[in-house]
Amino acid sequence: MTEHCSDGSPTRVQGALASTRAIPGRRQRFARKALDQFVSQFVAGAPLYREHSSRVIGRLTSVELRTGHDGETELWGDAEIDLPSSESLEAFAGTGFSVSVVEYDRDYRGNEALVIAVDSVAFSSGPLAGFRKRIKRICPAYVTWYHQFATVPRAAIVLDAHDRMSFRTAHARSVAAAEMADAFTVLAESLGKDVASLLLRIRTPQGLETDIEIPLGQPETTETIRSGVEQLLAAAAPMGG
């Protein structure tokens, strides 16, 4: 349902964000618990993204769970989209919209310099546990789930540097980047063959965001991951040499 406004105010839309049905083209599905948690923790004004990119096009104003005709649970949302007067909704918003949230559990202290959030649909708890152990041996980071509520969420990992990180030398920073890239590569190898790429969403302490597309199962996979990690660490732990 869409309500078009000609007076410059946001365009109001309503639609399904996700459900517990199997995701088209993937073997995974959202757990009812994840949808419940999102609704219970929802705060009006959460940013709304164009399809599955980092481009913010509006905000969610309310969410609710509904039961579909097949008995599956659906996550529905009401949103306001900042639609330019010169564009159609389809051209501006794409084929759909999505919302994402990083899960913070009781073990989150709030003083971690780096938060790494792993897509909750593409990855399972076993590989995540192994990844968490490897990362914590390299740097103090909080590793958690990244929930993307969309019809077909992309396999993605968020690297969010909340504060500046400290390394004694540039060499130490480079070694950390290489070790982190190896950990990410092992995690990526746990994805099924039906997942062709992985999105690294990097956020620096300065507020800059960069999306890097990682081809999986290719000779350049590890090097592309390492390049993204080095980009993050260069911004989070700058040094003269």
- The pLDDT of residue 1 is 45
List the structure tokens of 132.
């968490």
Structural domain range at position 217: 103-236
- The pLDDT of residue 100 is 78
Q: Is residue 160 part of a domain?
A: yes
- The pLDDT of residue 6 is 52
pLDDT tens by residue, the chain, 241 residues = 445 455 568 889 888 888 888 876 556 678 888 888 888 888 888 888 776 566 778 888 999 999 999 999 999 989 999 988 888 888 887 766 677 778 877 788 877 888 999 988 889 899 999 999 999 999 889 999 888 777 667 889 999 887 777 888 888 888 999 999 999 999 999 987 778 899 988 888 887 888 888 999 888 888 899 898 888 888 887 765 4
Backbone angles phi, psi at 103, to 5 degrees: -85, 120
Final residue in a domain of this structure, among 65, 99, 133:
99
Distance set, CA 228 to CA 12, 65, 188, 233 (Å)? 36, 37, 14, 9
Domains: count for the chain = 2
- The pLDDT of residue 45 is 87
Q: Between 170-188 and 221-236, two packed helices, what is the crossing angle to 10 degrees?
A: 140
Q: Is residue 241 part of a domain?
A: no
**C-alpha angle 136-140-142 in degrees, rounded to nearest 5:** 80
- Whether residues 111 and 64 fall in one domain: no
- The pLDDT of residue 17 is 83
- Whether residues 64 and 141 fall in one domain: no
- Whether residues 63 and 25 fall in one domain: yes
- Whether residues 112 and 134 fall in one domain: yes
- The pLDDT of residue 232 is 86
Question: What does pTM read for this prediction?
Answer: 0.74
Q: Is residue 211 part of a domain?
A: yes
DSSP 124-176: -HHHHHHHHHHHHHHS-EEEEEEEEESSSPPPEEEEEE-S----SSHHHHHHH
Please return the burial class of 44, using the count of CB atoms within 10 Å of its CB with bins 0-12, 13-18 and 19+.
exposed
User: Cβ–Cβ contacts within 10 Å for residue 180, how many?
Assistant: 25
**8 A C-beta contact, residue 46 and residue 58:** no
Q: What is the spatial distance between Cα 114 and Cα 142, in angstroms, rounded to a whole number? A: 6
Q: What is the pLDDT of residues 90-145, one digit of tens each?
A: 888 776 667 777 887 778 887 788 899 998 888 989 999 999 999 999 988 999 98
- The pLDDT of residue 164 is 72
